[in-house]
Structure 1
Amino acid sequence: MKIISIILGILVILGWLYVIGEYKYGNQKTKKAQNVMVVAFVLTLILTILQFF
């Protein structure tokens, strides 16, 4: 379970870094940036839920 948490944590960090980069350059309205934001949010929720178990 720890390995899954570590992998999800890395994916969450990379996802949010991508979102921050897109906002920095003003490309937050693109479909790709919006999809990555949703995926990063869902991964964050999953990681938070896994911390309880």
Structure 2
Amino acid sequence: MSGISELCVGFFSLIDLIDCLLVMLGVFGVCVWYRWGLYFFFIWEGGAVRGEQD
């Protein structure tokens, strides 16, 4: 039984590790998309404003 319980603990700690990595990747991905999204948004808005002023 001890071998099975150790296997379960190892399996669940592996799931925790994967969850942690996914959360870190998710947060990193959101930050990158957010930054690029704002960057392109400002370029597009700036271009649209300049276009309307002409």
- Structure 1 or 2: more helix by fraction: 2
User: Whose Rg is larger?
Assistant: 2
TM-score by length of 1: 0.48
Q: TM-score, normalised by structure 2?
A: 0.47
